[in-house]
Amino acid sequence: MAFPSLRRAALVAAVIGLAGLVIAPPAAAAAPRPPHIKGTETAPVYDYASAVRESVWVTTKLDNDGDGAPDKVVVDLVRPREAAAGKVPVIMDASPYYQCCGRGNESELKEYAADGSVTKFPLFYDNYFVPRGYAFAAVDFNGTSRSTGCGDVGGREEIEGVKAVIDWLNGRAKGAYADGTPARASWTTGKVGMIGKSWDGSVANGVAATGVEGLETIVPIAAISSWYDYYRDNGALYTIDGGPAWLSGYVNGRPDEVCQPVRDALYEGSANATGDYNSFWAERNFVPDARKVRASVFIAHGINDNNVETKHFAQWWDALARAGVPRKIWLGQEGHVDPFDFRRAEWVDTLHRWFDYWLQDLDNGIMREPMATIERAPDVWVDEPAWPARGAFTLPVSLGAGDGTTGTLGLRPSRGEMSIVDNPALRERAAVANPNTVVAGRSVFLSAPLERNLRISGTATVSLRVKVDKPNTEISARLVDYGTATRINYQGAKEGIRNLTTESCHGASIPADDACYLETAKDVVTADAAIMTRGWVDAAHRDSLTRPTQLRPGRWYTVTFDLNAHDAVLPAGRVLGLVLTLSDTQYTVPTSTGATVQVDLSRSRLGLPVSLAPGATALPDATVAPKVSAPAPRVYAEEPDRESGLIPQG
C-alpha cells in the first residue's frame, strides 16, 4: 500500500529538480537511546532490587474445567522500575513445574510473600536480563499453581493459554491483578522471546506454531515437537500408563475432582491400547504448522538425550528450514541437560546476543555467524555452517552374512538370510557388548575398520525385508560406534554432568533471589562402545501410523523406519555396528513378543547420512566382520526402564 505514495514522492522530487530547486528535507531527530543500550549490546544499568514485581491473571477464551468462567493463566512478572528504560521487551518461560517440581539443575521453585507477591524466580533469566532492559515473565500453565483450567499436555488449552499472555502483552487480551483491577501492559514493546527446557520449550514450539503476532523468537531446549513421538516411535509404545493423563495429574495444581474429567479424556484420546496416531496426537503435533512460525528459533539439544529424543529437534529443524525460518542450533554430547549446566559462560553470552538481536534490534552480527555449534568430544566444540552437514547424503549400506555369527556392513550388494528369535529379557547392555559372540535375540553387523574419519550427520534409516511367524512383532535397531574413547556418561545420574561445590553468578542478586548456581563438570568414562542412535517400529504400523495392518505369517514384507537423528565424527580405525533385536522391554512396551523374524539380506539396507571429503570412500568393503573387543562398558550401566521415568522435566 506504500508503493503509490512513494511513487508520488519521487514524481514531486523530479518536478522540483527540473525547476532548479534544491530543497533538503528536515533532518529527523534521532530518538534518544535508553541507558541500557551501549553500542550493539545491552548493559546492566537498572536496579534489580527495586524492580517491579507483580502477578497478573490473563483471561483466555477457553473453559475446559467447566465452571462457566473463562480459564485464567497467571503470569508473574519482574521488570525495570526506572522510567528511563522506556518500553521493554519480554523474555518468557512458561512452565508447569514452578510449584510442583522446580526448574533447573537445582530444582528451584517460585516463592511468594505472605501477601501473594512474587519474591523469587527460578533460573538466572530475571537476574541477568532485567538489569539489561528486559522484563521477565514466568507463566504457569493452565491447571498448575494459581492458574485455572486443567492441563491437557500439549493440547489446545495449554497452547492457547500461553498464547493469551502474548496477546495480553500486545493489548489483545484482558488481564487483571489479584483484586480484580484491570492490568494493562503499557510498559512493554510487545516483543516477546520464549525460552525453556523440555516441556517449557515444547510449549514455546507450540505457541510459535500458531503464528501469534509479537512472538519474535523462541529458544527451545531439549524440547518436544510432537507429543506422539514423545510417547511412541513408529507405533512402538514407550509407555502405557505413564502417558498424558498421568502427566497432567503429576503437575496438577487444582482439586483432583475438578480436573479428573479432563484426565479421563486424555487417557481415552491417547489410544494406548493400539499405539495409533489419531486426531488427539495431531492436535499435539507442531511440525506441520512450522509454515506458520513468524519467530526465529534457536534450538539446543543433547545428542544423547533419551528423554526428549533427537528426532524432536531434527524434524522441527527440517520443517523450519523448509519454511525459511531464521534459526540457530547447539548440539551437546550430554543427555537431557540445559547448556547452562554444560557450557555456561558461552551459553549465557550467546543468549544475551540472541535476545539483543531479536528483541532489542541490535545488529551484533550473531546472524552472520555459523548456524550450528556442535560438541564433538567432551568440551571440544566446533562451529559448522549448517546442520545436517552441508553436502550430507544418504549412503545405502548393505547387510552381509559375514561368518554366520557376525554380519558385515559394506557398499557391495550381499546375499543370504539370517533369523532373529525374540528375546524380551535381552537388555541393551548385553545386546551391544562383544559383537563377535553369539547372544540369543540379536544380530550384529560390523563394518571393516574405517580407513579415514567418517562424519555421520542427520537421520539414519533401516529398511528390512522380513518374514515373520506371527501377526506382529516389534523390531529394534541401534547404531554403535565400536572403539575405545573417553565419552560423556550420558546414562549417569545427571546425564553427563556432575555438580561441583563452587558457584558462578550471572546477573544481579538480592537476598530473596540470587543469581548464583552450582558449577558443573563433565561426567566422563572410558568406554569401548557408544550407541549413537536408536529406533523402534511396531511392524503392524509399517505402512501407516493411523491404520495398522497385521502381517501374514510366511509372507515377505518391507519394514522401513527412522532412527533418531545424530551427529558424530568416527575417527579412522573405529568400527561401525548395526545391532538388530526384536521386542525391547527396557525402552518400549511391546504389544507383541515371541516372534521369529527371517531377514532377506539382499533386500535390506542401512541408510546412513554421511558427509564425505571429495573422493573419499565411506566404508571399506569386508566379507568377514572384524574382531572387536567390547565388554559391557560402564557408560551403559543398567538404567531404569523408560516407563519408570518418562517425565519431560529439567
Cα distances from 77 to residues 192, 341, 352, 406, in angstroms, run 13, 25, 19, 60
DSSP secondary-structure letter at 301? E
Task: Write out the DSSP string of 314-369.
Answer: HHHHHHHHHTT--EEEEEESSSS--GGGTSHHHHHHHHHHHHHHHHH----SGGGS
Query: Residue 202: helix, strand or coil by DSSP?
Result: helix
CA dist., res. 519 & res. 524, Å (int): 16
Which helix (H) or strand (E) covers residue 208, if one does?
helix 199-208
Record the cell numbers describing residue 221, joined without a space.
Answer: 531446549
What's the rounded Cα separation, in Å, for the pair 323 and 291? 5
User: Cβ contacts of residue 648 below 8 Å, gap of 6+?
Assistant: 198, 199, 202, 224, 230, 247, 307, 308
By CB neighbour count within 10 A (0-12 exposed, 13-18 middle, 19+ buried), where does 2 fall? Answer: exposed
Residue whose entry in the numeric block shows the C-alpha cell 490473563: 58
Which member of 76, 152, 305, 584 is catalytic?
Answer: 305
Beta bridge partners of 195: 219
Active-site residue identified among 301, 336, 541, 566: 336
Q: Nearest to residue 480, comparing CAs of 642, 611, 639, 608?
A: 608
Beta-bridge mates of residue 168: none
DSSP per-residue string spanning 362-428:
---SGGGS-SEEEEEETTEEEEESSSS-TT-EEEEEEEE-TTSSSEEEESS----EEEEE--TT--H
Query: Does residue 336 have an active-site annotation?
Result: yes
Q: What is d(CA 553, CA 184) in angstroms, rounded to the nearest whole number? A: 66
Task: Please tell me which residue in 198, 248, 414, 447 is annotated as part of the active site.
Answer: 198
Q: Other C-beta atoms within 10 Å of 500: how many?
A: 11
The answer to whether the CB of 480 falls within 8 A of the CB of 596 is no
Give the integer Cα–Cα distance in Å for 42 and 435. 55
Report the C-alpha gap between 516 and 419 in whole angstroms: 56
Task: Work out the angle between the directed axes of helices 199-208 and 156-169 (0-180°, nearest 10).
Answer: 70
Catalytic residues: 198, 305, 336
